[in-house]
Copies of this chain bind each other. A is one copy, B any other.
Amino acid sequence: MIESVLVANRGEIALRVIRGARELGIRTVAVFSEADRDSPHVVHADEAVLIGPATASRSYLDIGKVLRAAHTTGAVAVHPGYGFLAERADFAGAVVDAGLVFVGPAAETIRAMGDKTEARRRMADAGVPVVPGTTTPLGSGSEAREVASEVGLPVVLKAAAGGGGKGMRVVRRLDEVAAAFDAAAREARAAFGDGSVYVERFLECPRHIEVQLFGDGFGNVVHLHERECSIQRRHQKLIEEAPSSLLGPEERREVGEAAVRAARAVNYVGAGTVEFLYQDGEFFFLEMNTRLQVEHPVTEFVTGVDLVEWQFRVASGEAIPMRQSEIPLSGHAIECRVTSESPFDGFLPATGTVRHLAIPGGPGVRWDGGIGVGSEIGLHYDPLLGKLITWASDRELAIMRMKRALAELTIAGVSTCAPLLRRILDESDFLAGRISTAYLTEHPELFDAGLDDASHTAAVAAAALLEHERRAAVPAPRIRRRGVRFSEWRAGTAPWVAPVADGNG
């Protein structure tokens, strides 16, 4: 087993990796920016190194600083987490060139799969079905328009270097293609340092089904069954499940085998995920993510496998400890992403200080968070505060457990998407498994703000009692203020806020 690892990330995933390493007796080194001095991922590491200011490009994305921190602390391996440098082939290469172990696939694999157009070519060659569209990046908005008219509308513009919905635009009208191309390219350049954009036919109501893979470099490639990630907004996953409630055993086997075929086609080593869109009985390859996914805990719950443990074992030169037939699939798991966003206000990013944090407990509940009381939630990084995951013997009980756990979760001081999550878990189409990537746009009623009657009455009573208590505790003020000040924002005209091009994915 490797003796030490530097975790080149922050937030919940850095903590997840540090936990996994500590459990194997691996010495852990955290890196942190000035904004993260007080973060849980720092305090739970064995050693921690400040690598720069809050701006990611000068800290978490600075390959030189990360490698220097590894050198200073004597770390022998680097785990990239997800996001930041995780799918940067040049980073994987630099780590290996520095004589360290990269906990992930080879730079060449990352490069091939990171270039989405190259990935589409390779998969098509390996006999994995892909969505119709271009296999090369486009040169301009007008070229994008041409391709769109060939493939047929709607289309989706995607960053070749992309992921997580960034640099992605759905377009339904030909005259909007050029503007959307510019916006996508701009976003892609800002997010990935690469403005290449390609085009695919946009499937209206597909389900997003992905397969967890593992390869070990000894010729063993296994899958750990599928995840259903159809509940998305703006192409960002919100709720994930394992297994998919859609698939029968035959389809499960089929999609698993297709994923293994895809992995073998690129000699895959380590943890990876093949994403598929499923519509009208057909699977289409969407992309391959050459890293641990945000939603990996649902797979861990239904298989009992610790994916980070396997990552470290494979990175240490061990073989995968199970054969395909030995990998369990037991019960049902659900994950809800809890983000600092105002769901009833166009998913506006929210900021604040975490004043109170109550984490759900009890059976079948897991919390993977990256915050603590006092954490400042700013705008520098991803809005993911934590992930709540539940497991039970079947989907219905897992959902009931999630509802119970969400009711226990309190993150005071910053708006989160939890109220929306609670509504989804009560909605009949979701409960029946009638979901697709269009689910949220097809259920606008979920976004109607407002409290129900009982909550409204409780809010009125709580406010009166709080103020009453405060007045009883504080002596009456000598000088009375005149009037009452509203915040600027409340007093102003509420602008209508919407994303530039709000697709229905």
B306 touches A44 (CB 8 A): no
B19 touches A404 (CB 8 A): yes
Smallest CB gap from A397: residue in B: B23
Which of A15, A331, A359, A369 has the most chain B CB atoms closer than 10 A to its own CB? A359
Contacts of A24 in B (CB 8 A): 400
Q: Assess whether A364 is interfacial by the CB under 8 Å rule.
A: yes
Q: Assess whether A363 is interfacial by the CB under 8 Å rule.
A: yes
Total interface residues in chain A, CB < 8 Å? 42
How far apart sit A413 and B21, CA to CA, in the bound complex (Å)? 30
* With A15-B362, A306-B392: A356-B369 Cβ-Cβ less than 8 Å: no
Contacts of A397 in B (CB 8 A): 23, 309
Smallest CB gap from A401: residue in B: B23
Which chain A residues (273-310) contact chain B, with CB distance < 8 Å?
Answer: 297, 300, 304, 306, 308-309
Shortest beta-carbon distance, A104 to chain B, in Å?
A: 19
Quick one: CB contact mask for A349-365 with B, threshold 8 Å, 1 for yes?
Answer: 00000001011011111
Contacts of A309 in B (CB 8 A): 397
Contacts of A401 in B (CB 8 A): 23
Q: Assess whether A25 is interfacial by the CB under 8 Å rule.
A: yes
Quick one: CB contact mask for A303-339 with B, threshold 8 Å, 1 for yes?
Answer: 0101011000000000000000000101100000000
Q: Assess whether A457 is interfacial by the CB under 8 Å rule.
A: no
Q: Assess whether A372 is interfacial by the CB under 8 Å rule.
A: yes
How far apart sit A212 and B279, CA to CA, in the bound complex (Å)? 47
Q: Assess whether A366 is interfacial by the CB under 8 Å rule.
A: yes
Q: CB within 8 A of A304: which of B15, B25, B359, B393?
A: B393
B356 touches A361 (CB 8 A): no
Contacts of A15 in B (CB 8 A): 361-362
Contacts of A362 in B (CB 8 A): 15-16, 19-20, 366, 368
How far apart sit A256 and B297, CA to CA, in the bound complex (Å)? 34
* With A400-B25, A404-B19: A361-B358 Cβ-Cβ less than 8 Å: no
How far apart sit A121 and B393, CA to CA, in the bound complex (Å)? 40
Q: Assess whether A22 is interfacial by the CB under 8 Å rule.
A: yes
Shortest beta-carbon distance, A14 to chain B, in Å?
A: 12
* With A304-B393, A331-B304, A400-B24: A44-B408 Cβ-Cβ less than 8 Å: yes
A404 touches B366 (CB 8 A): no
Shortest beta-carbon distance, A195 to chain B, in Å?
A: 37
Q: Assess whether A82 is interfacial by the CB under 8 Å rule.
A: no
Contacts of A373 in B (CB 8 A): 356, 373
A306 touches B407 (CB 8 A): no
Q: Assess whether A430 is interfacial by the CB under 8 Å rule.
A: no
Which chain A residues (374-397) contact chain B, with CB distance < 8 Å?
Answer: 386, 392-393, 397
Contacts of A386 in B (CB 8 A): 361
Shortest beta-carbon distance, A317 to chain B, in Å?
A: 19
Q: Assess whether A367 is interfacial by the CB under 8 Å rule.
A: yes
Q: CB within 8 A of A361: which of B364, B369, B400, B403?
A: B369
B404 touches A306 (CB 8 A): no
Smallest CB gap from A362: residue in B: B19
Smallest CB gap from A373: residue in B: B356
Contacts of A364 in B (CB 8 A): 306
Contacts of A361 in B (CB 8 A): 15, 359, 366-369, 386
Contacts of A23 in B (CB 8 A): 392, 397, 400-401, 404
Which of A19, A22, A365, A393 has the most chain B CB atoms closer than 10 A to its own CB? A19
Which of A300, A356, A373, A404 has the most chain B CB atoms closer than 10 A to its own CB? A404
Given contacts A22-B400, A297-B363, 18 further A-B contacts (CB under 8 A): A19-B362, A20-B363, A22-B403, A22-B404, A23-B397, A23-B401, A304-B331, A306-B363, A306-B393, A308-B363, A328-B330, A356-B373, A358-B372, A359-B361, A361-B367, A361-B368, A365-B366, A373-B373
3 A-B pairs with the lowest CB-CB distances in the bound complex, closest first = A361-B367, A19-B362, A23-B400
Cβ contacts A to B, 10 pairs, < 8 Å: A23-B400, A25-B400, A44-B408, A308-B363, A309-B397, A356-B373, A359-B361, A359-B367, A362-B366, A365-B366
